[in-house]
């Protein structure tokens, strides 16, 4: 009768002596899942001094002052580049936490633990790693409980020195691994990310989310990768993360083409869920103003309704329109919606709008954009501003001070800003063009009397993304808030 093989839990805590033996045994071995053995070791010499300086991330002498952005980055760098065993491994950690389950659970496959850990990471990343009081201690302790030196060395061996940011991201999510990198076979059909995190198939387009710098981590899409891969439905997690996930959305998401970005894949899934065809998807994706993430709730609830009602109208009348006519209809509809919002008028609606009437109005709107106007001029407010970021990109805010400037801006951006010259002459509006490395990106309307933002639109009236709004808020604080209010 054969002896039953004893299972070993690789991630259990070990005392200092056993960890030291394992460390010496594997110190000079090649990281190869087929040859690595755990358990047996060299004879332990208590008088041996490790020439490599051991590092304790909880030693006050080894930590950067709390509250800095680099504290967590420093923690990860030391995990990756330090070749000595974790001296913290033998400590009894008891971080303060208002969620007892998260602090005590060690079951990786537990869905409640997965959701709670991801929620903590969401808050942590939102504050750029500076919100580190109890969350820092909790997250770092869970990482240290879940990963060993050998597994970090395995990630370095598999991914190489050119992918340190990917290694950092994998370490952050290591408490959610379902398999160890030590068992990864490069010849397997399972890619490394699927090997570490997945029990079920994951949409192929989500793999690209891992290939980002750590500072620009795409937290949402990595979270989707893990949730889908571990059998936790997005609809179940939607309430915890404030996502708008309709019924049957995830079913269509699995069919999204691999070459699409995550946002475009979500649009593909939502159009298909609403009954659209591949042609309808292409028409929506071809219009910048409608390329938004349909799984995020807009600050204005009417915009979510407008987007879906427009898609439904296009699907219903798509067979009777050419691609060019559909493009004009989307331009006109977004213009009508944004103008109604700006005037606080009744929201735009598709009810009782026939195809013939919509095409007629769309053509009239298109002709009005090409109509030549008088060349008025007006004075600047001194709101020009340039800023260069750490990536070497230059953001420029350029105030437009003539009808010709507005006409050129409207022609490039495909919206109706050229009509605002009379408002600028009368002092009711001011128009500023936001440019990235000289290329036009967004058009901003400001109320000169209050120095407040009125609206921000991109090409074809698209909405600004979160990063663009962050740049605008910085300009607003540096320039608009410092400007004297007219009439004060």
Tell whether 6 is covered by a domain.
Answer: no
Task: In whole angstroms, give the CA distance from residue 158 to residue 167.
Answer: 10
| Inter-residue contact 262 to 205 (CB < 8 Å) | yes
C-alpha closest to that of 341 among 473, 463, 480, 435:
463
Which of 112, 83, 74, 99 has the alpha carbon at shortest distance from 24? 83
Sheet holding 385-388, edge to edge: 385-388, 394-400, 430-436, 439-447, 452-458
pLDDT of residue 153: 86
- What is d(CA 478, CA 58) in angstroms, rounded to the nearest whole number? 39
Q: Say if residues 176 and 117 touch (Cβ distance below 8 Å).
A: yes
Q: How far apart are CA 34 and CA 154, in angstroms?
A: 12
Claim to verify: residue 314 and residue 287 sit in the same structural domain: yes
Q: Which residues contact 330 (CB under 8 A, 6 or more apart)?
A: 283, 284, 287, 289, 290, 310, 314, 460
Same domain? 249 vs 224: no
Indicate if the pLDDT at residue 457 is higher than 50.
yes
Alpha helices of 248-344 — where are they, by DSSP H?
Answer: 249-253, 262-273, 278-285, 301-317, 323-342
Residues 115 and 257 in one domain: no
At residue 429, φ and ψ (nearest 5 deg) are -145, 155
- pLDDT score, position 225: 95
Q: Is the pLDDT of residue 103 over 70?
A: no
Residue 83: both structure tokens together: 């070749």
Domain-embedded: residue 196:
yes
Per the domain annotation, does 378 fall within a domain? Answer: no
Degrees (nearest 5) of the Cα angle 408, 414, 419?
A: 65
DSSP 452: E
Find the range with the poorest average confidence among 230-244, 277-291, 471-485: 471-485
Q: Do both 211 and 118 map to the same domain? A: yes
Q: What pLDDT shows up at residue 71?
A: 62
Instruction: Point out the domain boundary residue: 194, 213, 237.
Output: 237
Domain closes at, from 186, 209, 237? 237
Determine the 3-state secondary structure of 387 from DSSP: strand
- Least confident range from 112-126, 192-206, 458-472: namely 112-126
Claim to verify: residue 137 and residue 58 sit in the same structural domain: yes
Residue 133: which pLDDT band, with cuts at 50, 70 and 90?
Answer: low
* 422-452 exposure pattern, b = at least 16 Cβ within 10 A, e = fewer: eebeeeebbbbbbeeeeebbbbbbbebeebe
> What is residue 126's predicted lDDT score, i.e. its pLDDT?
61
What is the helix (H) or strand (E) element at residue 424, kind and residue range?
helix 421-425
Give residue 238's pLDDT.
92
Share of the chain residues as helix, strand and coil, in percent rounded to the nearest 5: 50, 10, 40
Query: Of 186, 219, 237, which residue is a domain's last?
Result: 237
Per-residue model confidence as pLDDT tens digits over 367-403: 887 776 667 889 999 999 998 887 788 999 999 999 8
Distance between CA atoms of residues 13 and 444, nearest Å: 56
Calpha distance 244→483 (Å, rounded): 39
How many Cα atoms occupy the beta-carbon half-sphere of 2 within 13 Å? 3
Q: Are residues 146 and 231 in the same domain?
A: yes
Neighbours of 179 (CB within 10 A): 16
Say if 11 falls within a structural domain: no
Q: Are residues 92 and 143 in the same domain?
A: yes
pLDDT band at 10 (very low <50, low <70, confident <90, very high): very low
User: What SS3 string covers 154-223?
Assistant: HHHHHHCHHHHHHHHHHHHCHHHCCCCHHHCCCCCCCCHHHHHHCCCCCCHHHHHHHCCCHHHCCHHHHH
**Tally of domains in the chain:** 3
Residues 207-226 have a mean pLDDT of 85
- 302 and 365 both lie in a single domain: yes
Place of tokens 């001011």: 430
Q: Is there a single domain that holds both residue 429 and residue 350? A: no
* 88: confidence class by pLDDT, cuts 50, 70, 90: very low
Domain enclosing residue 225, as ranges: 16-237
DSSP string, 220-273: HHHHHHHHHHTT--HHHHHHHHTB---TTHHHHHTTS-TTS-HHHHHHHHHHHH
Structure tokens at 109: 């496959």
Two structure tokens written together for 242: 């404030």
Please give the Cα distance from 44 to 24 (Å, whole number).
9
Quick: pLDDT tens for 305-339. 999 999 999 999 999 999 999 999 998 998 899 88
Whether 377 is in a domain gets the answer no
Phi, psi of 46 (to 5 degrees): -65, -20
Q: Give, as one character, the DSSP assignment of residue 419.
A: G
Looking at the structure, tell me whether residues 169 and 66 fall in a common domain: yes
Question: Does some domain include residue 3?
Answer: no
446 shares a domain with 300: no
Pair 318, 463 in one domain: no
The mean pLDDT of the chain is 77
Within a domain: residue 208?
Answer: yes
Return the top range by mean pLDDT from 271-275, 330-334, 412-416, 479-483: 271-275
Q: What is the DSSP letter of 422?
A: H
pLDDT 10s digits, 11-46: 444 444 344 444 444 443 433 433 333 333 333 344
In a domain, 293, yes or no: yes
Task: Kindly report whether the global pTM for this prediction surpasses the value 0.95.
Answer: no
Alpha-carbon distance 43 to 477, whole Å? 64
Query: Long-range contacts for 183-191 (Cβ within 8 Å, ≥24 apart)?
Result: 183/33, 184/33, 184/154, 184/158, 185/33, 185/34, 186/158
Compute the average pLDDT of residues 115-124: 82
């Amino acid at each position: 009768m054969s002896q039953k093989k004893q299972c070993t839990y690789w991630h259990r805590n070990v005392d200092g002596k056993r960890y030291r033996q394992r460390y010496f045994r594997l110190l000079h071995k090649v990281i190869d899942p087929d040859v690595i053995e755990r358990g047996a070791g060299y004879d332990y010499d208590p008088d041996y001094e490790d020439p490599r300086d051991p590092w304790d991330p909880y030693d006050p002498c080894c930590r950067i002052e709390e509250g800095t952005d680099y504290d967590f980055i420093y923690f990860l760098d030391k995990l990756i580049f330090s070749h000595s065993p974790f001296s913290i491994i033998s400590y009894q950690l008891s971080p303060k936490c208002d969620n007892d389950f998260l602090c005590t659970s060690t079951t990786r496959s537990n869905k409640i633990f997965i959701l709670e850990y991801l929620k903590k990471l969401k808050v942590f990343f939102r504050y750029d790693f500076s919100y580190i009081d109890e969350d820092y201690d909790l997250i770092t302790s869970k990482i240290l409980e879940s990963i060993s030196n050998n597994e970090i060395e395995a990630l370095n061996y598999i991914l190489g020195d050119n992918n340190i940011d990917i290694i950092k991201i994998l370490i952050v999510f290591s408490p959610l691994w379902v398999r160890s990198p030590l068992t990864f076979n490069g010849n397997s059909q399972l890619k490394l990310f699927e090997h570490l995190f997945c029990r079920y198939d994951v949409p192929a387009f989500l793999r690209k989310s891992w290939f980002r710098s750590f500072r620009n981590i795409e937290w949402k899409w990595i979270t989707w990768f893990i949730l889908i891969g571990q059998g936790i439905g997005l609809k179940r997690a939607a309430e915890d993360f404030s996502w708008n996930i309709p019924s049957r959305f995830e079913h269509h998401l699995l069919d999204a083409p691999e070459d699409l970005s995550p946002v475009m894949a979500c649009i593909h899934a939502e159009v298909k869920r609403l009954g659209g065809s591949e042609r309808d998807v292409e028409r929506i994706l071809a219009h910048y103003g409608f390329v938004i993430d349909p799984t995020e709730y807009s600050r204005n609830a009417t915009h979510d309704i407008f987007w879906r009602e427009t898609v439904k109208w296009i699907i219903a009348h798509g067979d009777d329109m050419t691609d060019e006519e559909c493009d004009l209809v989307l331009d006109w509809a977004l213009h009508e919606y944004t103008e109604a919002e700006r005037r606080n008028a009744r929201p735009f609606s598709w009810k009782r709008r026939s195809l013939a009437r919509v095409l007629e109005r769309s053509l009239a709107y298109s002709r009005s954009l090409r109509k030549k106007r008088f060349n008025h001029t007006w004075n600047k407010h001194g709101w020009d501003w340039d800023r260069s970021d750490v990536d070497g990109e230059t953001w420029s805010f350029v105030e437009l001070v003539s009808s010709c400037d507005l006409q050129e801006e409207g022609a490039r951006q495909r919206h109706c800003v050229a009509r605002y010259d009379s408002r600028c002459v009368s002092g009711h509006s001011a128009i500023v063009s936001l440019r990235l490395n000289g290329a036009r990106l967004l058009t901003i309307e400001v109320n000169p009397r209050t120095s407040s933002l009125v609206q921000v639109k991109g090409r074809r009236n698209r909405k600004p993304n979160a990063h663009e709004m962050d740049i605008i808020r910085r300009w607003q604080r540096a320039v608009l808030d410092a400007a004297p209010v007219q009439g004060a």
